[in-house]
Amino acid sequence: MAFMIPQYEEATRVDVWHDVTNESGESFIVHPDAPTLADAIDGDVCETEEITSGIFCRLSAPGYMDCTDWSGPHDTLETAQKDIADTFDVCAECGESLVDGDGEYPNCEANVCKVCAS
């Protein structure tokens, strides 16, 4: 089992996400479960945009605080899965590596490993 597994969440009118840009021009996504938007932001904010639709994705280590930044919003789950596979070279379902030691993709079928594809 992979240490980091893909996680997908959908934005809704109830669960509002925020796309935040700080003074340095860095942009990042704030999850709706952040205690407050101010707690999630480190530094001054130039701009914030509410996002009420779309699919967000990241890799997360269950039971640990380790995770990647959220990516999105994506129009469909399939585009979010493709983003995970393309960005991290891992199976979009289980998180197992799609790349062997030679940099080849022998265990990959359409963004998922052969185990998940069967």
Give the pLDDT score at 117.
74
> At 22, which helix (H) or strand (E)?
strand 17-22
Alpha helices in 35-76 (DSSP H): 37-40
Q: Tell me, yes or no, whether 107 lies in a domain.
A: no
Q: Tell me, yes or no, whether 85 lies in a domain.
A: yes
Structurally, how many domains does the chain consist of?
1
Q: What pLDDT digit, counting tens, does each position of 41-52 carry?
A: 666 666 778 888
Which residue has better confidence, 102 or 94? Answer: 94
Q: Could you tell me the pLDDT band of residue 58, with boundaries at 50, 70 and 90?
A: very high
Q: Tell me, yes or no, whether 108 lies in a domain.
A: no
Q: What percent of the chain has pLDDT over 70?
A: 80
CA distance 58 to 28: 12
Which residue has better confidence, 90 or 42? Answer: 90
Which residue has better confidence, 6 or 30? Answer: 6
Q: Tell me, yes or no, whether 76 lies in a domain.
A: yes
- What SS3 class is residue 27? strand
Q: Tell me, yes or no, whether 10 lies in a domain.
A: yes
Q: Tell me, yes or no, whether 117 lies in a domain.
A: no
Q: Tell me, yes or no, whether 80 lies in a domain.
A: yes
Most distant CA pair in the chain: distance in Å? 48
| Domain membership of residue 61 as a residue range | 5-89
Q: Tell me, yes or no, whether 100 lies in a domain.
A: no
Mean pLDDT of the chain, nearest integer: 82
Give the pLDDT score at 36.
65
- What SS3 class is residue 77? helix
Give the pLDDT score at 3.
87
